[in-house]
Amino acid sequence: MNRRHRTDQPADQWSGWSYYGAAHRYDVHDTPEATAACDRLMDRLEAARDERTLRKLAYDDSNACAFVRLVEMMVDADRITDLRTLALDGDGRAFATLMELLVREDRVEQLRAEVPVFASARAWLAHTLVRRGDVDAALVELELLESDPEHGHFAHSERLNLLLAHGRVDQVRVLAESGDRPAARRLKHWLASAP
């Protein structure tokens, strides 16, 4: 099957595909024959638009290859509502795929629209803003995410990364001196590794 997005480009942590194009990235079927048979089955189901069977395999039988094929079809058709529905049902893989799609396509407004539903979308939004060169806006988003009970710790760590990566050591120092222990730790490491 021809896919819409490339999967062979070097990509960073945020825009590399975790699932799209990832069927048989690892040897999950033991034999080349079994792998080829899986490909044929998935191609047949996709050609028939048989999403019912793909979903059944993906969710009832925990068939990762069927899940990959299902999200590939959704991504290629830009079915973000369907990806979001799977994510809302608790599928973190679908959430990651949705975010990866939006980051890759630089869809900042859509990422912003996901924030009320998925708090951690802010981290992906922040990364997209960094890719656009708007570090200040990214820092604002990460700081907003820091109050989130689940993702706050990660957001703070990402904000410190971003500050140090952009030479804003003074801002990290201010945080460290105001009693921010992660900032103090990071500053210490940064100073130790600075030439």
Residue 82 in contact with residue 98, Cβ under 8 Å?
Answer: no
Which residue, 38 or 111, has its beta carbon nearer to Zn ion? 38
Which residue, 27 or 78, has its beta carbon nearer to Zn ion? 27
Which residue, 97 or 128, has its beta carbon nearer to Zn ion? 97
Q: How many Cα atoms are found within 13 Å in the side-chain-facing hemisphere of 29?
A: 15
Residue 113 in contact with residue 102, Cβ under 8 Å?
Answer: no
Shortest Cβ 2–Zn ion spacing (Å): 18
Residue 157 in contact with residue 185, Cβ under 8 Å?
Answer: no
Shortest Cβ 153–Zn ion spacing (Å): 36
Which residue, 65 or 83, has its beta carbon nearer to Zn ion? 65
Shortest Cβ 35–Zn ion spacing (Å): 6
Which residue, 50 or 106, has its beta carbon nearer to Zn ion? 50
**Which residues are near Zn ion by CB under 5 A?**
38, 65
Phi-psi region of 148 (alpha: psi -120 to 50; beta: other; left: phi over 0): beta
Shortest Cβ 23–Zn ion spacing (Å): 5
Shortest Cβ 51–Zn ion spacing (Å): 17
Separation between Cα atoms, residue 137 and residue 192, nearest integer Å: 29
DSSP track, 133-187: T-HHHHHHHHHHHTT-TTTHHHHHHHHHHHHHHTT-HHHHHHHHHTT-HHHHHHH
